[in-house]
């Protein structure tokens, strides 16, 4: 079973996708970390003329050892990730790794922006996670504060909005809800309730697929 989880920044898609991975015993990939690792690799060259070429080179040579979540979680790296993510050649360079992960034997759960549209359009279940901007900002603020970081909520809100806007306008993206994705708005749900809702969607979708494979009934 392939489960695709997409949604905007700090919507909680990673929390849900990893929870679904644990629940169904499936390997999980946070694809945002790949873009973040490329962004981090070119952090020093953001204002350089060759930023794009450097980002492409970094994506082509990205190694699993570069995916160090503890260095990739900041707003600054998130913003850089969304800047390298508009470069078509960066996306192409990262495609095969994500595609191979999605199509591995036994299935997988992936979260990102284009999983249901580009990476695994054939996914068995697609979830599009939404939450209003204020809730997303508050969740991210608490996440940073739990790590002992001071947070300027006004600045954080605008960073999230700015990143969402860049992502939505990405000409090489696919950052929209797939037609066959289930929308899950978690604004009013805590983590446990959101995970229960996501599991109910996956179970319901898979039961529906199994039902449609049964021989059609014929009325006497
Ligand atoms: N339903 C929820 N209610 C409250 N907090 C939540 C909920 N879902 C996730 N969170 C918290 O919000 C923060 C962001 O969640 P998470 O990292 O899963 O979002 P994300 O969409 O994967 O973010 P990113 O776009 O940066 O990858 C985390 O601290 C997480 O624990
Ligand atoms: N499949 C994806 C995943 C992420 N991106 C870009 O990376 C940025 C950071 O992602 P997070 O999920 O960690 O917030 C994101 O803003 C996107 O620009 C992507 O393009 N495709």
> 78 in ligand 2 pocket by Cβ < 6 Å?
yes
Residue 38 inside a domain? The answer is yes
> 186 in ligand 1 pocket by Cβ < 6 Å?
yes
Residue closest via CA to ligand 1's atom 4 equals 190
What is the model's pLDDT at position 69?
87
Q: Which residue positions form the known binding site for ATP? A: 7-15
Q: Which of 6, 82, 169 to mutate to test the pocket of ligand 2 (most atoms within 8 A of CB)?
A: 82
Query: What's the 215 CA to ligand 2 centre distance in angstroms?
Result: 42
> 12 in ligand 1 pocket by Cβ < 6 Å?
yes
In the chain, the number of structural domains is: 1
Residue pointed to by tokens 């699993």: 64
Residue 211 inside a domain? The answer is no
Q: Which residue positions form the known binding site? A: 7-15
28 bridge partner residues:
109
> 8 in ligand 2 pocket by Cβ < 6 Å?
no
What is the complex's ipTM, to 2 decimals?
0.98
Ligand having the closest approach to the CA of 167: 2
CATH code, 51: 3.40.50.300
Residue 212 inside a domain? The answer is no
Query: What's the 38 CA to ligand 2 centre distance in angstroms?
Result: 11
Residue 217 inside a domain? The answer is no
Over residues 86-116, the pLDDT tens digits come to 999 999 999 999 999 999 999 999 999 999 9
What is the model's pLDDT at position 215?
63
Dihedral through CA 103, CA 108, CA 114, CA 118, nearest 10?
Answer: 20
Range of the domain at 138: 2-200
What is the model's pLDDT at position 214?
66
Determine which helix (DSSP H) or strand (DSSP E) holds 164, and give its type and residue range: helix 153-169
Query: What's the 82 CA to ligand 2 centre distance in angstroms?
Result: 6
Residue 84 inside a domain? The answer is yes
> 141 in ligand 1 pocket by Cβ < 6 Å?
no
Over residues 168-191, the pLDDT tens digits come to 888 888 788 999 999 999 999 999
Q: What is the rounded distance in angstroms from the CA atom of residue 37 to the CA atom of residue 35?
A: 5
Regions of the chain short of the pLDDT cut 70? 213-217
Residue closest via CA to ligand 1's atom 25 equals 9
Residue 210 inside a domain? The answer is no
Nearest-CA neighbor of 31 among 61, 58, 5, 52?
5
Residue 213 inside a domain? The answer is no
Q: What is the rounded distance in angstroms from the CA atom of residue 169 to the CA atom of residue 54?
A: 22
Regarding pTM above 0.90, the answer is yes
Residue 124 inside a domain? The answer is yes
């Amino acid at each position: 079973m392939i489960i695709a989880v997409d949604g905007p920044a700090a919507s909680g898609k990673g929390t849900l996708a990893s929870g679904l991975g644990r629940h169904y015993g499936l390997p999980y990939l946070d694809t945002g970390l790949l873009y973040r690792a490329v962004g981090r690799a070119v952090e020093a060259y953001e204002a350089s003329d060759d930023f794009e070429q450097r980002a492409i080179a970094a994506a082509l040579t990205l190694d699993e050892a570069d995916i160090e979540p503890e260095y990739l979680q900041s707003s600054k790296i998130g913003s850089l990730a969304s800047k390298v993510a508009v470069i078509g050649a960066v996306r192409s360079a990262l495609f095969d790794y994500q595609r191979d992960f999605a199509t591995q034997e036994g299935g997988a759960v992936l979260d990102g922006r284009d999983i249901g549209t580009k990476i695994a359009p054939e996914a068995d279940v697609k979830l599009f996670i939404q939450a209003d901007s204020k809730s997303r900002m508050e969740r991210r603020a608490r996440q940073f504060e739990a790590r002992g970081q001071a947070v300027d909520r006004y600045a954080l809100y605008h960073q999230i909005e700015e990143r969402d806007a860049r992502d939505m306008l990405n000409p090489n993206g696919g950052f929209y809800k797939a037609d066959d994705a289930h929308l899950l708005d978690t604004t009013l749900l805590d983590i446990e309730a959101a995970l229960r809702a996501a599991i109910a969607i996956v179970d319901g979708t898979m039961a529906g697929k199994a039902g449609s494979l049964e021989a059609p009934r014929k009325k006497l």
